[in-house]
Chain A
C-alpha cells in the first residue's frame, strides 16, 4: 500500500465529515463530523510525513489532537448549556443570534 492510498482515504474521510457538518442537525453528530475532518487532516499529515521522510507532519498531528481535545471540551460544555436551556440539541433551533 503506497502512502497515496492513505491520502485518498483522508480525502474521503474529510468529505464525509464536511457533508455531515452541512447536512446533520444534531449538534453531537456535527461535532463528531468535525472530529472526523480533523482526523482526516491528521491522516494526511502523517501520510505526507511518511512520503517525504520528514517528522514535521507527525508533530503537527499531535498538535491537532490537542486542539481537537480542547475544542471538544469547550464545545460539549456549550452544548450542555444550550441543551439545558432549550431542551434541544438541534443546531437549527439555536438561531437567535441573527439580523
Chain B
C-alpha cells in the first residue's frame, strides 16, 4: 500500500468541481446518440404493421449506429485535453433566474456508460432477433428496446438533474412496457405494475432532491449544484445525499425497494439482460457516482449508502442461493452485485472508480449469464426450473462455455474480471468508515462466498449431473444470431476487469470526475485472498450439496432460512403488511369519512338551501297585483321607518 502525497490528494479533491467546455468536433454531433434509438423507437411504434417485416432490422441497426458513434466519441475524447464537453441543444425551461438546458454532457463517466449501454445493449438486441423470432409482437418489442436505450442514454448524457429525471422516467416507462410485454399473462401485468409502483417510490426521492436543489441553490445543473454544495451547509448536503440514495434504491433495486426486481423476470429474457446488465439498475449507481461532490460533503449519507449496499448484497445473495428458477436466481445475483456497487459508491473516492469498474465488468458477465440462461430456456421449451435441467453441457456446448466463463468472472477467480473489480471494494471497506467498516467488509466477504455458492449451484444444476428433463424436450444449441453475442460477451467477461484495472486505466480516465482513491491497493490484498479462499470453500460446499449427490427433482423442505429465501426473504410480505394493508385501511377510512363526513355536511347544506328556496319561490305566483301589494307594503314600511328614525 502506498499513500499519495498531500499534493495529489488536494488535486483529487479539487478535481471534483465539474467544469465543462462547449463541445467541439465530432462531439458536437452527440445528439446523434439520442437520435438513433429514438428514431428507431418512433418508426417502429408509430409505423404500425407496415414495419413488421423489417422492423427488427431497424431495431438492431439503430443501437449499433449509436454504439459506433459512441466509439468515435470515445476516441475523440481520448485525444482531447478537455474531457468534459457540453453540447447545448436548446433551453428547456427559462423562468426568471432559473434556467434548465437540454445539454449533452460527454465526459469520462458518461462515455463509460454510453459504451456500456450501446455496446452491451446492441449485443442483447442482436440476440433478441433470434430469441423473439416467433413472437407475433416482435416489432413492438424492438421499438420498446430502442426506447429503453434512448431513455437510458438521455439519463447518462444529461448535464442537469432535471433532464436526467426525464431520462430516469423514460427508463421507468420502458421497463414497465417491457416487463409487461407478454401482457396477456396476468403475472407479467402484475409484475410490470409492481416495478412501476416501486420505482415511483424511489422517483419521489429524486424529485424531492431536485426540489431541494432548486430551493437551496436555485439551479439544478451539475456544475451549479456541485459548485455550491460545499458552502451550502451539511444539512442540505446530507438531505440531498439521502434523497438521492432513495432514488437510487428504487431504480437499482436496493433494500428496501428491492421487491420489483425478482418479479421483473416475467419479461422476455433479453429484457432481463438489458435491465440487469446495461440499463435501468445501473442508473442508481450512476446517480450516486455522478453526485459524488454531494456525497463528499455528506459523510452520513455515504454511510447510509454503504449500509444499504451491504444489506442488499447479502439479501440478494441469500435469495439467489435458494431459488430454483434460473432467472430468479440470476436476479438475486444482480441485486447482490448492484449492492457491491452501491457499497463501493458509499466508500467515497476510495470506491467510486471500482464501483464503475464493477458495473462495466458486471455489464458483460451478467448479460452473458442472462443471455446464456435465455439460450437454455429457449432450448428447453421455456422451462425455467433448474431442477428440470441437468447434464446440458453436451447439448449446448457454446452456451455452456460462455456461461462458464461468465461464471468464473462473477465469482472472482483470477484472472477473470470479477477478481479485479470486486476485491478493491471489499478491501476498501476495511479502510473506510472506521470500525463500522470492518462490519461492512466482513459482510462483503460473506457476500463473496454467497456469490460463489449460488453460481456454483446454478452451474451444477444446469450443466452437470444426470438429465432430469421431460422426455419430450429436445435441447439444442441456439442459432448463430444468439450465439455470437454470447461469445463476445464471454470475451468481455474474461478481459474487462483486467483491462480496466491493470495500469489504473479506468482510474486515470475517471479521475477528473470522481477523484483518485487516496490509498492504492495492489492486486493481491489480504481481503482479496480471504475472498478467494471463501469463494473456493463455497464452491466446494455447493459441490457437496449439488454435485456429489443427485439433485432432487422436487424441491426439498429445507430449513427456515431456505424457506424464507424462497419467499424473497419476506420482502413482499413486509411490503404487504407494513405498507399495503395500512394503506388500504387508510383509503377505506378516507372513503368512509368522505362519504359520511364531507359529503354529509355538503349534502345537508344543499338540502337545507334547496328546501328553503322551494318554499320561498311560492311567492312568485305570477299575479301582478300581489307584487304591487308587496311593493306598497315595502313602501309603507320604508316610510314608517324613516318617520320613526326622524322622531
Q: Do A and B come from one complex?
A: yes
Q: Which residues of A have CB within 8 Å of B617?
A: 99
Contact A91 B624 (CB under 8 A): yes
Closest to A92 in B: B623
Task: List residues 18-59 of chain A with CB under 8 A from any CB of chain B.
Answer: 18, 21-23, 25, 30
The yes or no answer to B42 lying at the interface (CB within 8 A) is no
A99–B620 CB distance below 8 A:
yes
A37, chain B: closest CB distance, angstroms: 10
- The reply to whether B623 and A22 contact each other, CB–CB distance below 8 Å, is no
Distance of A99 Cα from B616 Cα, bound (Å): 10
Stretch of B24-32, B169-177, B519-527, B625-633 with 4 or more beta carbons under 8 angstroms from chain A: B625-633
A15 CB to nearest B CB, Å: 11
* Chain B CB within 10 Å, residue with most, of A18, A94, A96: A18
- In the complex the two chains form, what is the Cα distance from A18 to B620 in whole Å? 21
When A18-B632, A22-B632 are in contact, do A92 and B620 touch as well, CB less than 8 Å? Answer: no
**Across the interface, do A98 and B620 meet the contact criterion of CB distance under 8 Å?**
yes
* CA gap between A11 and B144 in the complex, in Å: 93
Which residue on chain A has the smallest CB distance to residue B616? A99
Instruction: Tell me which residues across on chain A come within 8 A of B625, comparing CB atoms.
Output: 21-23, 25, 91-92
* A74 contacts B by Cβ under 8 Å: no
Contacting pair A21 B628 (CB below 8 A)? yes
Cβ of A85 < 8 Å from any Cβ of B? no
Do residues A99 and B618 form an inter-chain contact, with CB atoms below 8 A? Answer: yes
Chain B interface bracket (under 10, 10 to 19, 20 to 34, 35 or more): 10 to 19
Please, which residues of chain A bring their CB within 8 A of the CB of B632? Answer: 18, 22
Interface digits, A75-99 against B, CB 8 Å rule (1 contact, 0 not)? 0000000000000000110111111
Contact B628 A95 (CB under 8 A): no
On whether the beta carbons of A98 and B621 are closer than 8 Å, the reply is: yes
Complex-state Cα separation, A64 to B34, whole angstroms: 84
Cα(A96)–Cα(B624), bound, Å: 11
| Closest chain A residue to B621, Cβ basis | A98
Give the residues in chain B near A91, CB-CB below 8 Å.
623-625
- Chain A residues whose CB sits within 8 angstroms of the CB of B622 once the complex forms: 95-98
A99 CB to nearest chain B CB (Å):
4
Taking CB as reference atom, which chain B residue is nearest A33?
B628
Q: In the complex, what distance in Å separates the CA atom of A95 from the CA atom of B632?
A: 20
What residues of chain A lie closer than 8 Å to B624, measured between beta carbons? 30, 91-92, 94-95
Among B582-637, those with CB < 8 Å from A are 617-618, 620-625, 628-629, 632
Q: Number of A residues whose C-beta is below 8 Å from B?
A: 14
Closest residue of B by beta carbon distance from A97: B622
Are the CB atoms of B629 and A95 closer together than 8 Å?
no
Q: How long is the Cα–Cα vector from A28 to B63 in the complex, in angstroms?
A: 93
Smallest beta-carbon distance A77→chain B, Å: 17
Interchain CA distance A94-B621 in the complex, whole Å: 11
What is the distance, in angstroms, from A82's C-beta to the closest C-beta of chain B?
A: 11
Name B502-557 residues within 8 Å CB distance of A: none
Closest chain-A Cβ to B628's Cβ sits at a distance in Å of 5
Do B621 and A22 touch across chains, with their CB atoms under 8 A apart? no
Q: Which residues of A contact B621 (CB under 8 A)?
A: 95, 98-99
Residue of B nearest to A19 (CB): B632
- Point out the residues of chain A lying under 8 angstroms from B628, CB to CB: 21-22
- CA distance in complex: A94, B617 (Å): 18
Give A21 to B617 CA distance when docked, in angstroms.
24
B625 CB to nearest A CB, Å: 6
Taken together as a complex, chains A and B put the C-alpha atoms of A23 and B624 apart, in Å, by 11
Binary contact track A59-71/B, C-beta < 8 Å → 1, others 0 = 0000000000000
- Contact A95 B623, CB 8 Å, known A21-B628, A22-B628, A22-B629: yes
Question: By CB atoms of chain B within 10 A, which of A30, A95, A96, A97 has the most?
Answer: A95
A80 and B47 alpha carbons, distance in the complex (Å): 72
Cβ–Cβ < 8 Å partners of A98 in chain B: 620-622
List residues of chain B with CB within 8 A of the CB of A22: 625, 628-629, 632
Complex Cα distance, B617 from A97, in Å, reads 12
Q: How far is the CA of A95 from the CA of B623 in the complex (A)?
A: 6
Q: How long is the Cα–Cα vector from A97 to B624 in the complex, in angstroms? A: 10
A84 CB to closest chain B CB, in angstroms? 19
Interface positions, chain B 10-37, Cβ under 8 Å from A, are none
Q: How far is the CA of A32 from the CA of B617 in the complex (A)?
A: 30
Set of chain B residues within 8 Å of A92, measured between Cβ atoms: 623-625
Contacts of A95 in B (CB 8 A): 621-624
A25 proximity list for chain B (CB < 8 A): 625
- Expressed in whole angstroms, the Cα–Cα distance for A79 and B81 within the complex equals 98
Q: How far is the CB of B618 from chain A (nearest CB, A)?
A: 6
CB of B98, distance to nearest CB on chain A (Å): 58
In the bound complex, residues from chain A placing their C-beta under 8 Å from that of B620 are 98-99
Instruction: Enumerate chain A residues within 8 angstroms of B629, measured Cβ to Cβ.
Output: 22
Q: Could you list which residues of chain B lie within 8 angstroms of chain A, going by C-beta atoms?
A: 617-618, 620-625, 628-629, 632
**A interface list, Cβ under 8 A from B:** 18, 21-23, 25, 30, 91-92, 94-99
**Given A92-B624, A92-B625, A96-B622, 11 new contacts (CB under 8 A):** A21-B625, A22-B625, A22-B628, A22-B632, A23-B625, A30-B624, A91-B624, A95-B621, A95-B623, A95-B624, A98-B622
21 residue pairs of the A-B complex, CB under 8 angstroms, read A18-B632, A21-B625, A22-B632, A23-B625, A25-B625, A30-B624, A91-B623, A91-B624, A91-B625, A92-B623, A92-B624, A92-B625, A94-B624, A95-B622, A95-B623, A95-B624, A98-B622, A99-B617, A99-B618, A99-B620, A99-B621
Q: Which 3 residue pairs of A and B lie closest in terms of their CB atoms, listed nearest first?
A: A98-B622, A95-B622, A99-B617
